[in-house]
Amino acid sequence: MRDYHNFVNGRFTGSQSKDRITVVNPSDGQAICSVPDSTAGDVEDALAAAAAAQPDWAKRPAIQRAHALRAIAARIREQVEPLARVITEEQGKILDLARVEVAFTADYFDYMAEWARRIEGEILESDRPGETIFLFRQPIGVIAGILPWNFPFFLIARKAAPALVTGNTIVIKPSEETPHNAVKFCELMAQTDLPPGVINIVHGRGAGAGKALASSRRVGMISFTGSVETGSAIMSAAAANITKVNLELGGKAPAIVMGDADLELAVRAIKASRVINSGQVCNCAERVYVQAAVADRFVAELAKAMKATKVGNPLVDSAAEYGPLINEAGYRKVDGLVRGAVAAGATAVTGGKRAPAEGGYYYEPTVLAGCTQDMEIVRREIFGPVIPVIRFDDLDEAIAFANDSDFGLTSSIYTRDLNVALRACREIRFGETYINRENFEAMQGFHAGWRKSGIGGADGKHGLYEFMQTHVVYMQGNG
Protein backbone atom coordinates (compact mmCIF):
# COMPACT_ATOMS: atom_id res chain seq x y z
CA MET A 1 0.00 0.00 0.00
CA ARG A 2 1.48 3.37 -1.05
CA ASP A 3 1.66 6.31 1.38
CA TYR A 4 1.11 9.55 -0.50
CA HIS A 5 1.86 13.19 0.35
CA ASN A 6 0.47 16.66 -0.04
CA PHE A 7 1.50 18.69 -3.09
CA VAL A 8 2.65 22.16 -2.03
CA ASN A 9 4.71 24.73 -3.89
CA GLY A 10 5.29 22.44 -6.86
CA ARG A 11 6.45 19.31 -5.04
CA PHE A 12 5.25 16.45 -2.88
CA THR A 13 5.87 17.37 0.77
CA GLY A 14 5.55 15.66 4.13
CA SER A 15 2.88 16.61 6.64
CA GLN A 16 3.33 17.85 10.22
CA SER A 17 0.78 15.19 11.19
CA LYS A 18 1.59 11.56 12.02
CA ASP A 19 -2.04 10.57 11.45
CA ARG A 20 -2.88 9.05 8.12
CA ILE A 21 -6.12 8.32 6.32
CA THR A 22 -6.49 4.89 4.72
CA VAL A 23 -8.35 4.97 1.42
CA VAL A 24 -10.66 2.01 0.92
CA ASN A 25 -12.14 0.51 -2.25
CA PRO A 26 -15.92 0.68 -1.63
CA SER A 27 -16.48 -2.27 -3.97
CA ASP A 28 -14.65 -4.79 -1.78
CA GLY A 29 -13.48 -3.01 1.39
CA GLN A 30 -9.77 -3.46 0.51
CA ALA A 31 -7.27 -0.74 1.49
CA ILE A 32 -5.78 1.11 -1.51
CA CYS A 33 -3.36 3.74 -0.19
CA SER A 34 -2.99 6.36 2.52
CA VAL A 35 -2.73 10.15 2.64
CA PRO A 36 -1.87 12.48 5.52
CA ASP A 37 -4.55 13.83 7.82
CA SER A 38 -3.02 17.29 7.49
CA THR A 39 -2.83 19.84 10.28
CA ALA A 40 -3.80 23.52 10.31
CA GLY A 41 -0.05 24.22 9.98
CA ASP A 42 0.13 22.19 6.73
CA VAL A 43 -2.83 24.16 5.41
CA GLU A 44 -1.17 27.48 6.29
CA ASP A 45 2.03 26.39 4.50
CA ALA A 46 0.02 25.61 1.37
CA LEU A 47 -1.86 28.92 1.59
CA ALA A 48 1.43 30.78 2.04
CA ALA A 49 2.78 29.11 -1.13
CA ALA A 50 -0.40 30.03 -3.02
CA ALA A 51 -0.25 33.62 -1.75
CA ALA A 52 3.41 33.97 -2.75
CA ALA A 53 2.74 32.63 -6.26
CA GLN A 54 -0.38 34.68 -6.94
CA PRO A 55 0.95 38.17 -7.88
CA ASP A 56 3.28 36.87 -10.61
CA TRP A 57 0.67 34.45 -11.87
CA ALA A 58 -1.87 37.29 -12.14
CA LYS A 59 0.66 39.49 -14.00
CA ARG A 60 0.93 36.95 -16.81
CA PRO A 61 -1.34 37.63 -19.77
CA ALA A 62 -4.48 35.49 -19.45
CA ILE A 63 -3.57 33.64 -22.64
CA GLN A 64 -0.37 32.37 -21.00
CA ARG A 65 -2.39 31.12 -18.05
CA ALA A 66 -4.69 29.44 -20.55
CA HIS A 67 -1.72 27.63 -22.12
CA ALA A 68 -1.02 26.11 -18.68
CA LEU A 69 -4.62 24.84 -18.46
CA ARG A 70 -4.34 23.32 -21.93
CA ALA A 71 -1.10 21.57 -20.94
CA ILE A 72 -2.89 19.98 -17.98
CA ALA A 73 -5.77 18.92 -20.26
CA ALA A 74 -3.30 17.31 -22.67
CA ARG A 75 -1.60 15.36 -19.87
CA ILE A 76 -4.99 14.13 -18.61
CA ARG A 77 -5.92 12.91 -22.11
CA GLU A 78 -2.75 10.80 -22.23
CA GLN A 79 -3.85 8.94 -19.09
CA VAL A 80 -7.61 8.40 -19.46
CA GLU A 81 -7.58 4.67 -18.73
CA PRO A 82 -5.29 4.66 -15.65
CA LEU A 83 -7.06 7.70 -14.21
CA ALA A 84 -10.47 6.09 -14.76
CA ARG A 85 -9.33 2.96 -12.93
CA VAL A 86 -8.06 5.01 -9.98
CA ILE A 87 -11.42 6.82 -9.77
CA THR A 88 -13.40 3.59 -10.00
CA GLU A 89 -11.22 1.85 -7.45
CA GLU A 90 -11.65 4.48 -4.74
CA GLN A 91 -15.12 5.84 -5.57
CA GLY A 92 -17.01 2.84 -6.96
CA LYS A 93 -18.49 4.30 -10.16
CA ILE A 94 -18.48 2.10 -13.25
CA LEU A 95 -15.48 2.44 -15.57
CA ASP A 96 -17.48 3.94 -18.45
CA LEU A 97 -18.64 6.75 -16.19
CA ALA A 98 -15.12 7.22 -14.79
CA ARG A 99 -13.85 7.55 -18.39
CA VAL A 100 -16.52 10.16 -19.05
CA GLU A 101 -15.44 11.98 -15.88
CA VAL A 102 -11.78 12.04 -16.98
CA ALA A 103 -12.62 13.20 -20.53
CA PHE A 104 -15.03 15.84 -19.20
CA THR A 105 -12.32 17.08 -16.82
CA ALA A 106 -9.83 17.56 -19.68
CA ASP A 107 -12.53 19.29 -21.75
CA TYR A 108 -13.34 21.54 -18.79
CA PHE A 109 -9.72 22.76 -18.55
CA ASP A 110 -9.78 23.48 -22.29
CA TYR A 111 -13.17 25.17 -22.08
CA MET A 112 -12.05 27.48 -19.27
CA ALA A 113 -8.81 28.21 -21.19
CA GLU A 114 -10.99 29.55 -24.03
CA TRP A 115 -12.16 32.35 -21.71
CA ALA A 116 -8.67 33.90 -21.60
CA ARG A 117 -9.42 36.26 -24.50
CA ARG A 118 -13.03 36.81 -23.47
CA ILE A 119 -12.75 38.26 -19.95
CA GLU A 120 -14.23 41.73 -20.29
CA GLY A 121 -14.41 44.90 -18.22
CA GLU A 122 -16.68 47.88 -18.89
CA ILE A 123 -16.35 51.59 -19.61
CA LEU A 124 -19.12 53.62 -17.99
CA GLU A 125 -20.54 57.03 -18.81
CA SER A 126 -19.58 59.57 -16.13
CA ASP A 127 -21.67 62.40 -14.63
CA ARG A 128 -18.61 64.67 -14.66
CA PRO A 129 -17.04 66.41 -17.65
CA GLY A 130 -13.75 64.89 -18.78
CA GLU A 131 -14.04 61.82 -16.59
CA THR A 132 -13.95 58.17 -17.69
CA ILE A 133 -15.06 55.33 -15.43
CA PHE A 134 -13.49 51.92 -15.94
CA LEU A 135 -14.74 48.70 -14.42
CA PHE A 136 -11.94 46.15 -14.30
CA ARG A 137 -12.38 42.50 -13.42
CA GLN A 138 -9.54 41.32 -11.23
CA PRO A 139 -8.61 38.10 -9.47
CA ILE A 140 -9.67 37.61 -5.85
CA GLY A 141 -6.30 36.21 -4.70
CA VAL A 142 -6.09 32.78 -3.10
CA ILE A 143 -9.03 30.40 -3.54
CA ALA A 144 -9.76 27.46 -1.23
CA GLY A 145 -11.43 24.53 -3.01
CA ILE A 146 -13.07 21.90 -0.78
CA LEU A 147 -14.32 18.83 -2.64
CA PRO A 148 -16.81 15.98 -2.18
CA TRP A 149 -16.19 12.38 -3.22
CA ASN A 150 -18.84 11.77 -5.89
CA PHE A 151 -17.10 13.37 -8.94
CA PRO A 152 -13.73 13.91 -7.28
CA PHE A 153 -11.56 14.31 -10.37
CA PHE A 154 -13.91 16.60 -12.28
CA LEU A 155 -14.36 18.83 -9.24
CA ILE A 156 -10.61 19.59 -9.21
CA ALA A 157 -11.14 21.16 -12.63
CA ARG A 158 -14.36 22.90 -11.68
CA LYS A 159 -12.48 24.75 -8.95
CA ALA A 160 -8.96 25.09 -10.39
CA ALA A 161 -9.67 25.93 -14.04
CA PRO A 162 -11.77 29.11 -13.51
CA ALA A 163 -9.57 30.11 -10.56
CA LEU A 164 -6.36 29.91 -12.59
CA VAL A 165 -7.46 31.45 -15.87
CA THR A 166 -8.71 34.52 -13.98
CA GLY A 167 -5.34 34.97 -12.19
CA ASN A 168 -6.01 33.36 -8.81
CA THR A 169 -4.01 30.59 -7.19
CA ILE A 170 -5.65 27.75 -5.29
CA VAL A 171 -5.35 25.30 -2.40
CA ILE A 172 -7.61 22.25 -2.81
CA LYS A 173 -8.64 19.76 -0.17
CA PRO A 174 -10.03 16.61 -1.78
CA SER A 175 -12.52 14.48 0.10
CA GLU A 176 -10.87 12.11 2.59
CA GLU A 177 -12.86 9.31 0.86
CA THR A 178 -11.30 9.88 -2.58
CA PRO A 179 -7.85 11.52 -2.44
CA HIS A 180 -6.01 9.06 -4.71
CA ASN A 181 -7.16 10.62 -8.00
CA ALA A 182 -5.96 14.02 -6.71
CA VAL A 183 -2.50 12.53 -6.10
CA LYS A 184 -2.49 11.30 -9.70
CA PHE A 185 -3.57 14.77 -10.83
CA CYS A 186 -0.56 16.26 -8.99
CA GLU A 187 1.78 13.77 -10.69
CA LEU A 188 0.48 14.96 -14.09
CA MET A 189 0.67 18.61 -13.07
CA ALA A 190 4.29 18.15 -12.00
CA GLN A 191 5.07 17.20 -15.62
CA THR A 192 3.91 20.61 -16.88
CA ASP A 193 5.65 23.96 -16.38
CA LEU A 194 2.95 25.32 -14.08
CA PRO A 195 4.79 27.61 -11.61
CA PRO A 196 5.15 26.29 -8.05
CA GLY A 197 2.38 27.34 -5.66
CA VAL A 198 -0.29 27.96 -8.31
CA ILE A 199 -2.18 24.73 -7.52
CA ASN A 200 -1.60 23.08 -4.11
CA ILE A 201 -3.35 19.96 -2.82
CA VAL A 202 -3.65 19.28 0.91
CA HIS A 203 -5.25 16.06 2.17
CA GLY A 204 -7.16 15.65 5.39
CA ARG A 205 -10.48 15.45 7.13
CA GLY A 206 -13.11 18.16 7.25
CA ALA A 207 -12.80 18.86 10.96
CA GLY A 208 -9.04 19.49 10.66
CA ALA A 209 -7.69 20.56 7.27
CA GLY A 210 -11.12 21.56 5.93
CA LYS A 211 -11.92 23.79 8.87
CA ALA A 212 -8.45 25.34 8.77
CA LEU A 213 -8.93 26.25 5.10
CA ALA A 214 -12.37 27.74 5.72
CA SER A 215 -11.10 29.78 8.71
CA SER A 216 -7.92 31.24 7.25
CA ARG A 217 -7.50 34.99 6.69
CA ARG A 218 -5.38 34.25 3.62
CA VAL A 219 -8.32 32.85 1.66
CA GLY A 220 -10.19 35.25 -0.64
CA MET A 221 -12.99 32.85 -1.57
CA ILE A 222 -14.00 29.37 -0.45
CA SER A 223 -15.44 27.36 -3.32
CA PHE A 224 -17.11 24.37 -1.69
CA THR A 225 -19.07 21.43 -3.08
CA GLY A 226 -20.68 19.07 -0.60
CA SER A 227 -23.55 18.70 1.84
CA VAL A 228 -25.80 21.44 3.22
CA GLU A 229 -24.59 20.75 6.77
CA THR A 230 -20.93 21.24 5.83
CA GLY A 231 -21.82 24.28 3.72
CA SER A 232 -23.41 25.83 6.76
CA ALA A 233 -20.33 25.04 8.93
CA ILE A 234 -18.08 26.58 6.26
CA MET A 235 -20.19 29.74 6.17
CA SER A 236 -19.83 30.03 9.96
CA ALA A 237 -16.05 29.62 9.74
CA ALA A 238 -15.87 32.10 6.86
CA ALA A 239 -17.93 34.66 8.77
CA ALA A 240 -15.07 35.55 11.11
CA ASN A 241 -13.04 36.93 8.19
CA ILE A 242 -16.00 37.92 5.94
CA THR A 243 -14.56 35.50 3.36
CA LYS A 244 -16.65 35.15 0.20
CA VAL A 245 -18.30 31.73 -0.15
CA ASN A 246 -19.37 29.90 -3.30
CA LEU A 247 -21.44 26.89 -2.26
CA GLU A 248 -22.65 23.98 -4.41
CA LEU A 249 -24.72 21.89 -2.02
CA GLY A 250 -27.19 19.03 -2.01
CA GLY A 251 -30.25 18.52 -4.17
CA LYS A 252 -33.66 16.88 -4.09
CA ALA A 253 -34.56 17.12 -7.76
CA PRO A 254 -38.25 16.64 -8.59
CA ALA A 255 -39.17 14.96 -11.90
CA ILE A 256 -42.73 15.73 -13.06
CA VAL A 257 -44.31 13.23 -15.46
CA MET A 258 -47.45 14.64 -17.10
CA GLY A 259 -50.24 12.43 -18.45
CA ASP A 260 -49.31 13.31 -22.04
CA ALA A 261 -45.60 12.50 -21.61
CA ASP A 262 -43.69 10.04 -23.76
CA LEU A 263 -43.62 7.45 -20.98
CA GLU A 264 -40.92 5.33 -22.56
CA LEU A 265 -38.64 8.36 -22.67
CA ALA A 266 -39.55 9.39 -19.11
CA VAL A 267 -38.81 5.90 -17.76
CA ARG A 268 -35.50 5.70 -19.61
CA ALA A 269 -34.35 9.18 -18.55
CA ILE A 270 -35.47 8.93 -14.92
CA LYS A 271 -33.87 5.53 -14.52
CA ALA A 272 -30.63 6.82 -16.08
CA SER A 273 -30.70 9.86 -13.86
CA ARG A 274 -31.20 7.70 -10.77
CA VAL A 275 -28.75 4.83 -11.25
CA ILE A 276 -25.81 6.90 -12.51
CA ASN A 277 -23.03 6.74 -9.90
CA SER A 278 -25.35 4.56 -7.75
CA GLY A 279 -27.69 7.54 -7.37
CA GLN A 280 -24.97 9.58 -5.69
CA VAL A 281 -25.24 12.71 -7.81
CA CYS A 282 -26.47 16.12 -6.62
CA ASN A 283 -28.61 16.67 -9.71
CA CYS A 284 -30.19 13.15 -9.91
CA ALA A 285 -33.98 12.79 -10.01
CA GLU A 286 -34.63 12.25 -6.27
CA ARG A 287 -38.46 12.22 -6.27
CA VAL A 288 -40.94 11.60 -9.09
CA TYR A 289 -44.41 13.15 -9.40
CA VAL A 290 -46.64 11.36 -11.89
CA GLN A 291 -50.11 12.36 -13.08
CA ALA A 292 -52.74 9.97 -11.70
CA ALA A 293 -54.10 8.87 -15.11
CA VAL A 294 -50.78 7.28 -16.13
CA ALA A 295 -49.37 6.51 -12.67
CA ASP A 296 -49.95 2.73 -12.61
CA ARG A 297 -48.49 2.23 -16.08
CA PHE A 298 -45.52 4.48 -15.33
CA VAL A 299 -44.70 2.74 -12.02
CA ALA A 300 -44.94 -0.70 -13.63
CA GLU A 301 -42.62 0.30 -16.50
CA LEU A 302 -40.16 2.08 -14.21
CA ALA A 303 -40.06 -0.90 -11.83
CA LYS A 304 -39.42 -3.22 -14.79
CA ALA A 305 -36.53 -1.05 -16.00
CA MET A 306 -35.04 -0.68 -12.52
CA LYS A 307 -35.34 -4.38 -11.75
CA ALA A 308 -33.42 -5.18 -14.94
CA THR A 309 -30.55 -2.90 -13.89
CA LYS A 310 -27.34 -4.81 -13.25
CA VAL A 311 -25.51 -4.02 -9.99
CA GLY A 312 -21.97 -5.25 -9.38
CA ASN A 313 -18.31 -4.65 -8.65
CA PRO A 314 -17.29 -2.23 -11.44
CA LEU A 315 -13.69 -3.47 -11.65
CA VAL A 316 -14.79 -7.09 -12.01
CA ASP A 317 -18.16 -7.01 -13.75
CA SER A 318 -18.05 -5.03 -16.99
CA ALA A 319 -21.83 -5.40 -17.43
CA ALA A 320 -22.60 -3.60 -14.15
CA GLU A 321 -24.63 -0.41 -14.63
CA TYR A 322 -23.74 0.82 -11.18
CA GLY A 323 -21.56 -0.19 -8.25
CA PRO A 324 -21.56 0.15 -4.47
CA LEU A 325 -22.51 3.08 -2.27
CA ILE A 326 -19.50 5.03 -1.01
CA ASN A 327 -19.43 3.63 2.54
CA GLU A 328 -21.42 2.15 5.41
CA ALA A 329 -22.81 5.53 6.50
CA GLY A 330 -24.15 6.08 2.97
CA TYR A 331 -25.73 2.62 2.99
CA ARG A 332 -27.34 3.14 6.41
CA LYS A 333 -28.85 6.44 5.31
CA VAL A 334 -30.35 4.96 2.12
CA ASP A 335 -31.65 1.85 3.87
CA GLY A 336 -33.03 3.84 6.81
CA LEU A 337 -34.96 6.15 4.48
CA VAL A 338 -36.40 3.19 2.53
CA ARG A 339 -37.44 1.36 5.70
CA GLY A 340 -38.98 4.54 7.10
CA ALA A 341 -41.00 5.07 3.91
CA VAL A 342 -42.28 1.47 3.90
CA ALA A 343 -43.21 1.77 7.59
CA ALA A 344 -45.11 4.95 6.73
CA GLY A 345 -47.14 3.20 4.02
CA ALA A 346 -45.04 3.18 0.82
CA THR A 347 -44.69 -0.02 -1.23
CA ALA A 348 -41.35 -1.27 -2.54
CA VAL A 349 -42.49 -2.32 -6.04
CA THR A 350 -38.96 -3.50 -6.67
CA GLY A 351 -35.81 -3.52 -4.52
CA GLY A 352 -35.81 -2.12 -1.00
CA LYS A 353 -32.78 -3.85 0.45
CA ARG A 354 -29.05 -4.50 0.21
CA ALA A 355 -28.03 -6.15 -3.07
CA PRO A 356 -26.44 -9.59 -2.74
CA ALA A 357 -22.97 -8.58 -3.99
CA GLU A 358 -19.82 -9.42 -2.05
CA GLY A 359 -17.71 -7.02 -0.05
CA GLY A 360 -19.18 -3.55 -0.48
CA TYR A 361 -22.41 -1.73 0.35
CA TYR A 362 -24.47 -2.43 -2.75
CA TYR A 363 -28.14 -1.45 -2.83
CA GLU A 364 -30.87 -2.87 -5.03
CA PRO A 365 -32.43 -0.60 -7.64
CA THR A 366 -35.58 0.46 -5.82
CA VAL A 367 -38.96 1.96 -6.76
CA LEU A 368 -41.26 3.06 -3.95
CA ALA A 369 -44.91 3.63 -4.91
CA GLY A 370 -47.56 5.31 -2.77
CA CYS A 371 -45.20 7.90 -1.26
CA THR A 372 -46.54 11.12 0.19
CA GLN A 373 -45.11 14.60 0.42
CA ASP A 374 -44.58 14.47 4.19
CA MET A 375 -42.37 11.32 4.12
CA GLU A 376 -38.74 11.79 5.10
CA ILE A 377 -37.67 10.04 1.87
CA VAL A 378 -39.43 12.77 -0.13
CA ARG A 379 -37.85 15.58 1.92
CA ARG A 380 -34.23 14.47 2.56
CA GLU A 381 -31.51 13.80 0.00
CA ILE A 382 -31.34 9.98 -0.47
CA PHE A 383 -28.08 9.66 -2.47
CA GLY A 384 -28.79 6.10 -3.58
CA PRO A 385 -30.53 4.16 -6.40
CA VAL A 386 -34.02 4.67 -4.94
CA ILE A 387 -37.00 6.42 -6.58
CA PRO A 388 -39.96 7.52 -4.45
CA VAL A 389 -43.08 8.08 -6.58
CA ILE A 390 -45.99 10.39 -5.68
CA ARG A 391 -49.23 10.89 -7.63
CA PHE A 392 -50.71 14.25 -8.54
CA ASP A 393 -53.92 15.41 -10.21
CA ASP A 394 -53.00 18.56 -12.12
CA LEU A 395 -50.04 20.78 -12.95
CA ASP A 396 -50.79 23.21 -10.11
CA GLU A 397 -50.47 20.41 -7.59
CA ALA A 398 -47.29 19.04 -9.22
CA ILE A 399 -45.59 22.45 -9.17
CA ALA A 400 -46.65 23.01 -5.55
CA PHE A 401 -45.21 19.60 -4.56
CA ALA A 402 -41.98 20.25 -6.48
CA ASN A 403 -41.44 23.67 -4.90
CA ASP A 404 -42.22 22.40 -1.41
CA SER A 405 -38.56 21.63 -0.58
CA ASP A 406 -35.60 23.17 1.21
CA PHE A 407 -33.49 22.29 -1.84
CA GLY A 408 -33.49 24.14 -5.17
CA LEU A 409 -30.80 22.67 -7.41
CA THR A 410 -32.26 20.84 -10.41
CA SER A 411 -35.71 19.74 -11.63
CA SER A 412 -37.27 18.14 -14.70
CA ILE A 413 -40.60 17.80 -16.49
CA TYR A 414 -41.81 15.30 -19.10
CA THR A 415 -44.63 16.52 -21.36
CA ARG A 416 -45.49 16.93 -25.06
CA ASP A 417 -47.33 20.18 -24.38
CA LEU A 418 -45.17 23.27 -24.92
CA ASN A 419 -47.47 25.46 -22.84
CA VAL A 420 -47.23 23.08 -19.88
CA ALA A 421 -43.43 23.02 -20.18
CA LEU A 422 -43.23 26.81 -20.38
CA ARG A 423 -45.53 27.29 -17.41
CA ALA A 424 -43.51 24.82 -15.35
CA CYS A 425 -40.29 26.68 -16.24
CA ARG A 426 -41.79 29.96 -15.07
CA GLU A 427 -43.15 28.57 -11.82
CA ILE A 428 -40.67 25.88 -10.74
CA ARG A 429 -38.28 27.50 -8.30
CA PHE A 430 -35.04 25.66 -9.05
CA GLY A 431 -31.70 26.70 -10.51
CA GLU A 432 -31.99 24.22 -13.41
CA THR A 433 -34.88 22.57 -15.27
CA TYR A 434 -34.55 19.76 -17.82
CA ILE A 435 -37.42 19.24 -20.26
CA ASN A 436 -37.85 15.73 -21.66
CA ARG A 437 -34.31 14.61 -20.80
CA GLU A 438 -32.20 13.22 -18.00
CA ASN A 439 -30.47 15.59 -15.54
CA PHE A 440 -26.87 16.36 -16.47
CA GLU A 441 -25.52 19.87 -16.81
CA ALA A 442 -23.36 21.39 -19.58
CA MET A 443 -20.06 23.15 -18.80
CA GLN A 444 -21.22 26.28 -20.65
CA GLY A 445 -24.40 26.51 -18.51
CA PHE A 446 -24.58 27.78 -14.92
CA HIS A 447 -24.95 25.18 -12.18
CA ALA A 448 -26.38 27.09 -9.24
CA GLY A 449 -28.68 25.93 -6.46
CA TRP A 450 -31.45 28.03 -4.97
CA ARG A 451 -32.48 27.94 -1.29
CA LYS A 452 -30.33 25.50 0.71
CA SER A 453 -28.75 24.08 -2.45
CA GLY A 454 -26.18 26.83 -2.53
CA ILE A 455 -24.89 30.34 -3.00
CA GLY A 456 -23.46 31.46 -6.33
CA GLY A 457 -22.74 28.83 -8.95
CA ALA A 458 -20.28 27.14 -11.28
CA ASP A 459 -19.61 26.81 -15.04
CA GLY A 460 -19.92 29.08 -18.03
CA LYS A 461 -19.39 32.84 -18.02
CA HIS A 462 -21.29 33.39 -14.79
CA GLY A 463 -19.34 30.70 -12.96
CA LEU A 464 -16.07 32.18 -14.23
CA TYR A 465 -16.90 35.66 -12.96
CA GLU A 466 -17.51 34.25 -9.46
CA PHE A 467 -13.71 33.98 -9.27
CA MET A 468 -13.20 37.70 -9.97
CA GLN A 469 -13.90 40.92 -8.16
CA THR A 470 -14.61 44.29 -9.72
CA HIS A 471 -12.36 47.30 -9.42
CA VAL A 472 -13.87 50.62 -10.51
CA VAL A 473 -11.43 53.34 -11.54
CA TYR A 474 -12.49 56.99 -11.98
CA MET A 475 -10.07 58.80 -14.26
CA GLN A 476 -10.52 62.56 -14.30
CA GLY A 477 -9.14 64.24 -17.39
CA ASN A 478 -9.28 67.98 -18.11
CA GLY A 479 -10.69 67.82 -21.62
Is 427 an annotated catalytic residue?
A: no
Work out whether 173 is an interface residue with ligand NAD (CB under 6 A).
yes
Which among 227, 331, 334 has a CA at the least distance from the CA of 286?
Answer: 334
Toward ligand NAD, which CB reaches closer, 326 or 420?
326
Amino acid at 161: A
User: What is the nearest approach in angstroms of ligand NAD to the Cβ of residue 148?
Assistant: 3
Work out whether 176 is an interface residue with ligand NAD (CB under 6 A).
yes
CB 279 within 8 Å of CB 378:
no
User: What is the nearest approach in angstroms of ligand NAD to the Cβ of residue 273?
Assistant: 14
User: What is the nearest approach in angstroms of ligand NAD to the Cβ of residue 304?
Assistant: 28
For 129, the 3-state DSSP assignment is coil
Query: What SS3 string covers 381-445?
Result: CCCCCEEEEEEECCHHHHHHHHHCCCEECEEEEECCCHHHHHHHHHHCCCCEEEECCCCCCCCCC
Q: How far is Cα 119 from Cα 137, in angstroms, rounded to an integer? A: 8
Return the range that interacts with ligand NAD (CB under 6 A); candidates 46-54, 81-89, 94-102, 172-180: 172-180
Toward ligand NAD, which CB reaches closer, 54 or 225?
225
Toward ligand NAD, which CB reaches closer, 88 or 410?
410
Select from 141, 206, 254, 259 the one that contacts ligand NAD (CB under 6 A).
Answer: 206
| Cα–Cα–Cα angle for 235, 456, 91, rounded to 5 degrees | 75
Return the range that interacts with ligand NAD (CB under 6 A); candidates 113-121, 221-229, 419-427, 432-440: 221-229
The alpha carbons of the chain give a radius of gyration, in whole angstroms, of 23
Q: How far is Cα 217 from Cα 272, in angstroms, rounded to an integer? A: 43
Return the range that interacts with ligand NAD (CB under 6 A); candidates 32-40, 146-154, 192-200, 388-396: 146-154
Closest-CB residue for ligand NAD?
206
Toward ligand NAD, which CB reaches closer, 215 or 366?
215
Cβ atoms within 10 Å, residue 420: 20
Amino acid at 2: R
Sequence-distant contacts of 38-42: CB under 8 A, at least 24 apart: 38/6, 38/202, 38/203, 38/204, 38/208, 38/209, 39/15, 39/204, 39/208, 39/209, 39/212, 40/208, 40/209, 40/211, 40/212, 41/16, 42/6, 42/8, 42/15, 42/16, 42/17, 42/202, 42/204, 42/209
Work out whether 38 is an interface residue with ligand NAD (CB under 6 A).
no
Amino acid at 44: E
User: What is the nearest approach in angstroms of ligand NAD to the Cβ of residue 297?
Assistant: 31
Q: Please count the residues of this chain forming the interface with ligand NAD, following the rule CB under 6 A.
A: 30
Work out whether 162 is an interface residue with ligand NAD (CB under 6 A).
no
451 to 470, contacts with ligand NAD by CB under 6 A?
Answer: 454
Which residue of the set 89, 101, 177, 248 is catalytic? Answer: 248
Q: How far is Cα 408 from Cα 385, in angstroms, rounded to an integer? A: 20
Q: How far is Cα 345 from Cα 98, in angstroms, rounded to an integer? A: 37
Is 177 an annotated catalytic residue?
A: no
Work out whether 37 is an interface residue with ligand NAD (CB under 6 A).
no
Which residue of the set 186, 282, 284, 371 is catalytic? Answer: 282
Q: Which helix (H) or strand (E) holds 3?
A: strand 2-3
Return the range that interacts with ligand NAD (CB under 6 A); candidates 12-20, 94-102, 173-181, 354-362: 173-181
Work out whether 411 is an interface residue with ligand NAD (CB under 6 A).
no
78 to 107, contacts with ligand NAD by CB under 6 A?
Answer: none
User: What is the nearest approach in angstroms of ligand NAD to the Cβ of residue 399?
Assistant: 22
Work out whether 148 is an interface residue with ligand NAD (CB under 6 A).
yes
258 to 317, contacts with ligand NAD by CB under 6 A?
Answer: 282
224 to 243, contacts with ligand NAD by CB under 6 A?
Answer: 225-227, 230, 233-234
Task: Give the residues across from 415 on adjacent strands.
Answer: none
- DSSP annotation of 77: H
Q: Which helix (H) or strand (E) holds 335?
A: helix 328-343
Strands 244-248 and 454-455, how do they pair? antiparallel
Toward ligand NAD, which CB reaches closer, 249 or 285?
249
Work out whether 388 is an interface residue with ligand NAD (CB under 6 A).
no
Instruction: Report residue 264: phi and psi, to 5°.
Output: -60, -45
307 to 346, contacts with ligand NAD by CB under 6 A?
Answer: none
Select from 27, 39, 175, 223 the one that contacts ligand NAD (CB under 6 A).
Answer: 175
Select from 49, 100, 140, 147 the one that contacts ligand NAD (CB under 6 A).
Answer: 147
Select from 100, 112, 249, 357 the one that contacts ligand NAD (CB under 6 A).
Answer: 249
User: What is the nearest approach in angstroms of ligand NAD to the Cβ of residue 14?
Assistant: 21
Residues assigned a catalytic role: 248, 282
Residues that bind ligand NAD (CB under 6 A): 146-150, 173, 175-176, 205-207, 210-211, 214, 225-227, 230, 233-234, 248-251, 282, 381, 409, 447, 449, 454
